[in-house]
Structure 1
Amino acid sequence: MIDKQSPIPIYHQLEEKIKQLIETGELNPGDILPSEREYAEQFQISRMTVRQAINNLVNERFLYRIKGKGTFVMEHKMEQPLRELTSFTEDMKARGLQPSNRLIHFEILPASAELAEKLGIKEHGPVYEIKRIRLAEDIPMALERTYISANLVPGLTEDIVKDSLYAYVERVLQLKIKGGTQMIEASISNEEERGYLEIEEADPILLMQRISLLEDGRPFEVVKSSYRADRYKFIIDLQR
């Protein structure tokens, strides 16, 4: 209930009540909220107070609006700590989510000069080009483009990359993946990303580029990924 005698502002009490409903699962991602009028009548408060609470929750990314339809609960964002190198499959399983891949493209191409330099191979050397949609519980999370030297990782097939590439490299080929360098930047989605990630025009995305290394220092892969900014965030632990 709303305590009108409390020193805590009424709009803040309503914010906390809605947050609690989301946290307890009484309001789920995608659910539509009651209207401002319904909230105002339920708690005997002004619609302006309700609007302030809703606006604050929209700004905090707990809710989102669709013009002409209403206000909805935002999807939970996946969190990926940037402390160690893990595959998408490992990352989702660690969260108790069911990961899956949708393979879009798989072929062997001659490496460009830029790609050859990053992979430490000769220009025009054979590389796998793998394009996949990464999903969690059948929800598109990222469009991923991976490039790997075909000489370093022989025998790669479509069936393998539909499962877990890292598991094949480490368990079958006995190559130890040590770590890598990762760069992240914000961007606006393009037409291809919108189509595969099921997002709207000009929706923001997180662009990630990673070069992964084997234990002996050899570059193993170059990965370029486009993550949905509304469903994914990266966490960095800092120490002093």
Structure 2
Amino acid sequence: MAIYQKIATQLREEISAQYTPGDLLPPENQLADRFDVNRHTVRRAIDELVQDGLVRRHQGLGCRVVQKPIDYALHDRAAFSHNLNQIGLGLETEVVGCRVAVLPEALAERLALADPPRIIELQTRRFIGSEPVCLIRHYLFDLPDDALNNFSEGSLHTYLLQNFDLVLQRGTTRLRARMPTFDECNQLAISRGIPVMEVHTRNYCRQSGALREYSIARSRSDYFEYRVEPTP
């Protein structure tokens, strides 16, 4: 094992046992003296921790330990904001874009729809504190064109319940990990080395069983761990 990898292993163990989210690692020169190596070797070791999502570099400040991934349960309750609130985390919503459009043909084929329907396409970015953690593209079916004109914050599904008596239930969910695009890096404030988890979800009306939303969420893998819960 290379020296920098040994140092990274030692620092991982120390972060797990001794550090809490928000703590700063010692400066590189102090770590170099401690391990009796040059700063380039220390920097390579810290690069490993950054790639793992354990620490984040801050210009002029140093390397800060990030919080442990959020244990997020995928169950039949489809509301992202509600699910995070249930575990004590507040979530802020930013509307990035909203338009009336025709569902993309490729997605219509995936959903076995003969003719791409007219939908509302909503794009949101979600924050925990000041940290952007998730981008979501929502395709909403069978709503008036102006249905989301007054939606600007909070939970989308709570808004749909309060304004349209629409209760959504999670159906098929598909997950995959991939490396982020440059735009996703900018919007989520991550490096190219941190994967995103892409979650495709079909949400159905609980009352009628009709498909009412298809969502594509791209979340930071250093913030979330997804846990699948079977329907009781």
Judge same fold: TM > 0.5, yes or no.
Answer: yes
Give the match for residue 97 of structure 1.
89
2:68–2:223 CA contact under 8 A, matched in 1: yes
Percent of aligned positions with the same letter in both sequences?
20
CA pair 16-191 structure 1, distance change in 2 beyond 3 A: closer
Structure 1 pair 203/212, CA: closer, same or farther in 2 (3 Å)? same
Q: Could you say which residue in structure 2 is the equivalent of 1:19?
A: 16
How far did 1:115 drift? 3.5
Which residue is equivalent to 2:122?
Answer: 130
1:132 positional shift: 0.9
Q: Kindly indicate whether residue 154 of structure 2 is the aligned counterpart of residue 180 of structure 1.
A: no
Alignment correspondent of 1:83:
75
Provide the alpha-carbon RMSD of the alignment.
3.6
Q: Which runs of structure 2 are paired with 1:119-158 in the superposition (5 Å)? A: 123-149=115-141, 152-154=142-144, 155-158=146-149
1:160 to 2:151 alignment: yes
User: CA offsets per residue over residues 108-163 of structure 1, 9 Å max, x none?
Assistant: 012233434566766353210111111111211111111012xx223422432533
**What's the TM-score once normalised by structure 1's chain length?**
0.71
The 3-state SS of whatever aligns with 2:89 is: coil
Q: Distance in 1 between matches of 2:29 and 2:67?
A: 24
Matches within 5 A, 1:1-240: 18-23=15-20, 28-29=21-22, 31-35=23-27, 47=35, 58=49, 62-63=54-55, 71-117=63-109, 123-149=115-141, 152-154=142-144, 155-160=146-151, 162-215=153-206, 216-237=208-229
The count of corresponding residues between Structure 1 and Structure 2 is 213
- The answer to whether the Cα contact below 8 Å between 2:203 and 2:212 also exists between their aligned partners in 1 is yes
Gap change, CA 1:170 and 1:47, over 3 Å in 2:
same
CA contact (8 A) 2:54 2:222 kept: no
Is this contact kept in 2: 1:64–1:74, CA < 8 A?
Answer: yes
- Greater Cα radius of gyration, structure 1 or 2: 1
Which one has more relative contact order, counting CA pairs under 8 Å at least 6 apart? 2
- The alignment's TM-score, normalised by the length of structure 2, stands at 0.73
